[in-house]
Amino acid sequence: MASHPYQGIGDHQFWSRAVTWAPPGGLDAVVHTRFGVGPDDRVGTMGSCFAQHLSRHLARSGLHYFVAEAAPDGMRAEDALARQYGVFSARYGNVYTVAQALQLFERAYGGFAPQEQPWARGEVVVDPFRPLVEPDGFADAAALEADRDCHLAATRSVFEDSDVFVFTLGLTEAWRSRADGAVFATAPGVNGGSWDPERYEFVNFGIDDVRGGLFALCESIRSVNPDVRILLTVSPVPLIATYEDRHVLVSTTASKAVLRVAADEAHRRFDFVDYFPSFELISAATTPRNHYAPDLREVEDLGVAHVMRTFTQHYVEGRPWAAAPSAPVPPSASGPRSVVCDEETVAAAIAASS
């Protein structure tokens, strides 16, 4: 009989054995997985900027990256990318907050009809809920509405037809309409429209809001797709700016903590939900090397490769957890990449107004 409860537990449960001596590229924070991803599984994606790395990895790995809203036949590849075809499974742009994702589901199924009208951008208009999907904007509200109808139909297909749905949680800070609580990807005035404090307000969602919203989102997706498996992850990319009157590092830590706790509780609550630790694999405090670029925000290719290799090892190949090897594991090659990030337009707007 063990003399204390820690005798006989796994190497992965001890910091010294699982983290301290893990070489660069050798840290593996995945121990158990609830499901695998096969070549015939349609994998849908949604979320923050970092989610695009997984989308790109799926597309080139031989798995079925499910794109319900594809570029029209004959559109040049560079034009399709500029219009965010294939960046995610549908052209919803960055879905940073749980509230934004839940409202997108409700909008797709007619449960929520926001009052917000198209935002003006010079001589054209843009969709307040995905302002960057048409770089040149829409000629008028009718063209926008027609495109949105197609988009929401594709979004329904993502929810209904994905075998695995991957949602990367990114932020807790957002801007919303005072009229009906509609949540936007960026603040009014940044990518279109104009700032009016009488019409819009800042919100920083707390744990109760995020947890409740995430539970509702998981249940809603299951209501239209009873066999879907949901994989949650938290983006390791820090906030580009905070509207809270405090240091951006403090806001980033608070935001990621809320998202991580909510994901953990969803994992505990639902047996069809799993969590993949991309945040933990990149976070500088727990990795053998710094995976961030010189700006200490963008994740370098080496870090992305490590996250994707770990995902493939456990979800595609299904290998069990093992203590880190004595020599570094060489990262897989990673070519040039480009990530579409609505949040970065905040910095651009600030620079333009300086």
Question: Are 64 and 43 in contact, with CB atoms under 8 Å apart?
Answer: yes
Global confidence as pTM: 0.89
**What does each C-alpha distance from 32 to 35, 101, 222, 321 come to in angstroms?**
9, 27, 23, 8
For residue range 254-279, list pLDDT tens digits in order. Answer: 999 999 999 999 999 999 999 999 99
The pLDDT mean for the chain works out to 89
Beta-bridged to residue 173, according to DSSP, are 204
**Token pair of 97 as six digits:** 């907050």
Angle at 346 between CA 341 and CA 347, to 5 degrees: 95
Nearby residues of 117 by Cβ (< 8 Å), 6 or more positions away: 128, 141
pLDDT of res. 331: 33
Write the DSSP symbol of residue 145.
H
d(CA 109, CA 81): 27
Backbone angles phi, psi at 47, to 5 degrees: 140, -150
Task: Using 70 as the pLDDT threshold, list the residues of the chain that sit under it.
Answer: 1-2, 284, 317-354
Which residue ranges make up each domain of the chain?
Answer: 11-353
